[in-house]
Amino acid sequence: MAERVLYSFRRCPYAMRARLALVASGTACELREVKLADKPQAMLDASPKGTVPVLVLDDGTVIEESREIMHWALEHSDPEGWLDRHNAALVDRCDGPFKHALDRYKYPNRYDDCDPLPHRAEGLAFLSDLDLRIADRGGQLCGPQRGLADVAIFPFVRQFVNHDRAWFDAQDLPHVQDWLAGHLDSALFKTVMQREKPWQPGQEPVALALGA
């Protein structure tokens, strides 16, 4: 077992994309699944911000942002050439305006006087732009093969879609629908969605699966 430790939460899209990059790069690490309502002290000691993902390296260095974890892993090993198929501005749109709309569409009760429908419309505008881009570039966001932009963005599209799948399926987004379905059906995604019980100090280490 490698001494690297990844604190993660299976359904979090930030943690999801970090795991995708770690697995694709073949980076061995211990996986510590976190229960967000009961965060382990070891994680908080490493990263007081208290959000996942958190990657603790062998030398004690802590990487606590998902995009930094992705770049760190791929800069060490990038067998599919993901770094060649990236668009930082597009990922910024996902992490900024789209995530803002997603949160208010999915969790309107968390915000004062929030009508979710305008935020759904904002999210749909982003998906429409992705649809055109995928059609223009041959199946993925930066070309015919998946790259860093695709893997950084699709976990958030998945979360948006799952809030009302019937509504999404009725939209005229054929390229996004095929693109998302392909990522969700991939061996890589199925690998990173391994189910583990929340980590407890002293338990036998669990490896991040690298079988994709």
- Each domain of the chain, given as residue ranges in start order, spans 5-81, 83-186
Cα separation of 189 and 151, whole Å? 10
Instruction: Decide if pLDDT at 107 tops 80.
Output: yes
Quick one: which of 22, 33, 36 has its CA closest to 67? 22
Biggest distance spanned by C-alpha atoms of the chain: 51
Q: Which pLDDT value is given to residue 183?
A: 98
- What does the alpha-carbon distance between residue 63 and residue 185 come to, in Å, rounded to a whole number? 29
Look at residue 195 in the predicted model and tell me its pLDDT.
Answer: 95
Q: How confident is the model at residue 3 (pLDDT cuts 50, 70, 90)?
A: confident
For residue 164, pLDDT over 70 is answered with yes
Amino acid 212: pLDDT? 56
In the chain, the amino acid numbered 80 is E
Confidence check: pLDDT of 117 > 70 = yes
pLDDT (mean) for 139-154: 98
| CATH classification code of 5-81 | 3.40.30.10
Q: Which amino acid is at 93?
A: R
- Mean pLDDT throughout 129-158? 98
On the question of pLDDT at 1 being above 90, the answer is no
Nearest to 6 by CA among 39, 35, 28, 36: 28
- Tell me if 31 sits within 8 A of 55, measured CB to CB: no
For the ranges 2-6, 75-79, 136-140, 162-166, the lowest mean pLDDT is seen at 2-6
Q: Are 208 and 29 in contact (CB under 8 A)?
A: yes
Tokens of 107: 């969790």
Enter the CATH code of domain 83-186.
1.20.1050.10
Average model confidence (pLDDT) across the chain: 96
State the Cα–Cα distance between residues 6 and 28, nearest whole angstrom. 10
Q: What is the mean pLDDT of residues 25-50?
A: 96
Convert the pLDDT of each residue in 128-143 to its tens digit.
999 999 999 999 999 9
